């Protein structure tokens, strides 16, 4: 209960930051709204090392506030899905476990441009950048059995919720997004980019696999045959207490793709990041 309360408080805090950013003045064309489209994947017990394995579609909305030609604040809401299977992404392990899960992320990030980025004529219009921030996300791992997908969290495949065992894990948690990208100002109102970001999470249950195998006979008696079958899918049942996952590690997920954004608000000619007018002197004119 304490963890759920902390999650709720952090979610309110992150939402407050993002909503506050959206209320920044829009008079200098420093604000941008746009979209992200790309792919998502996961790293964890069922895919320990294969980058971009089993990629799934991801997309969402972005808001950027350009603090200066070097720095920007950004808020995202991104939707995606991750999935993996021992048989395909970790075939050295005989567990025969698999999952898929939707991901919904709300995050706040800071971008640092390696080059000063301008929309003005004859000034630098592109920049590689890095970003980092904090995010809050929801997930819901599912697994297929005989053609039907089952939500795994409330089933307690590792004995969660049974007498003397740990509680069910939360389906919301925190993440630390970080990564790199490249953006280019096509015009004084439109920017396109490409980026790749990893998310370190504070949960090891993105795939419903973390601790040890629970006694399968007990699961069969207490929870039924579906739970028992989903908990241990190997040809020979594992002994209670045998490692089902690695409790010392946390799961990761990633988003990579393209961005497009448009500046909004009235132009402020005193703002060097947004002044799109060609200087008169360079055109051989006098004012």
Residue 230, pLDDT score: 97
Confidence of residue 271 (pLDDT cuts 50, 70, 90): very low
pLDDT 10s digits, 116-128: 999 887 899 999 9
Q: For residue range 137-185, what is the model confidence (pLDDT) as tens digits?
A: 999 999 999 999 999 999 999 999 998 889 999 999 999 999 999 999 9
Q: Is 135 exposed, middle or buried (0-12, 13-18, 19+ CB in 10 A)?
A: buried
Q: What CA–CA distance (Å, rounded) separates 58 from 77?
A: 11
Domain covering 2-283 in this structure, CATH number = 2.40.160.20
Question: pLDDT digit string (tens) for 221-230?
Answer: 999 999 999 9
Q: Mean pLDDT, the chain, as a whole number?
A: 87
What is the average pLDDT across 15-36?
66
Among residues 237, 221, 232, the alpha carbon closest in space to that of 162 is found at 221
Whole-angstrom distance, CA of residue 121 vs CA of residue 118: 8
Quick one: pLDDT at residue 91?
75
Helix or strand (DSSP H, E) at 15: helix 2-22
Q: What is the three-class DSSP state of 282?
A: helix
Q: Do the Cβ atoms of 109 and 122 come closer than 8 Å?
A: no
Give the predicted TM-score (pTM) of the model. 0.84
Tell me what the mean pLDDT of segment 43-62 comes to. 96
Whole-angstrom distance, CA of residue 216 vs CA of residue 33: 51
């Amino acid at each position: 209960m304490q963890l759920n309360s902390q999650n709720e408080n952090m979610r309110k805090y992150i939402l407050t930051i993002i909503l506050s950013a959206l209320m920044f003045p829009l008079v200098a064309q420093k604000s941008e709204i746009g979209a992200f489209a790309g792919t998502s994947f996961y790293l964890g017990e069922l895919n320990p090392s294969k980058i971009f394995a089993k990629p799934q579609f991801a997309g969402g909305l972005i808001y950027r506030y350009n603090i200066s030609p070097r720095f920007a604040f950004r808020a995202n809401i991104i939707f995606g899905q991750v999935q993996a299977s021992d048989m395909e992404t970790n075939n050295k392990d005989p567990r025969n476990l698999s999952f898929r899960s939707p991901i919904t992320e709300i995050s706040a990030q800071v971008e640092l441009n390696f080059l000063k980025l301008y929309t003005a004529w004859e000034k630098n219009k592109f920049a590689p950048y890095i970003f980092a921030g904090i995010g809050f996300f929801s997930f819901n791992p599912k697994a297929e059995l005989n053609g039907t997908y089952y939500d795994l969290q409330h089933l307690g495949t590792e004995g969660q919720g049974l007498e003397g065992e740990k509680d069910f894990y939360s389906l919301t948690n925190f993440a630390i997004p970080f990564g790199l990208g490249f953006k280019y100002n096509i015009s004084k109102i439109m920017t396109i980019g490409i980026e790749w970001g990893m998310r370190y999470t504070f949960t090891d249950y993105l795939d419903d696999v973390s601790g040890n195998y629970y006694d399968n006979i007990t699961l069969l008696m207490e929870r039924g045959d579906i739970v028992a079958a989903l908990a241990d899918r190997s040809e020979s049942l594992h002994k209670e207490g045998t490692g089902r996952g690695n409790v010392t590690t946390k799961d990761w997920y990633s988003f990579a793709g393209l961005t497009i954004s448009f500046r909004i608000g009235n132009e402020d000619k005193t703002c060097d990041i947004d002044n799109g007018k060609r200087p008169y002197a360079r055109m051989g004119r006098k004012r």
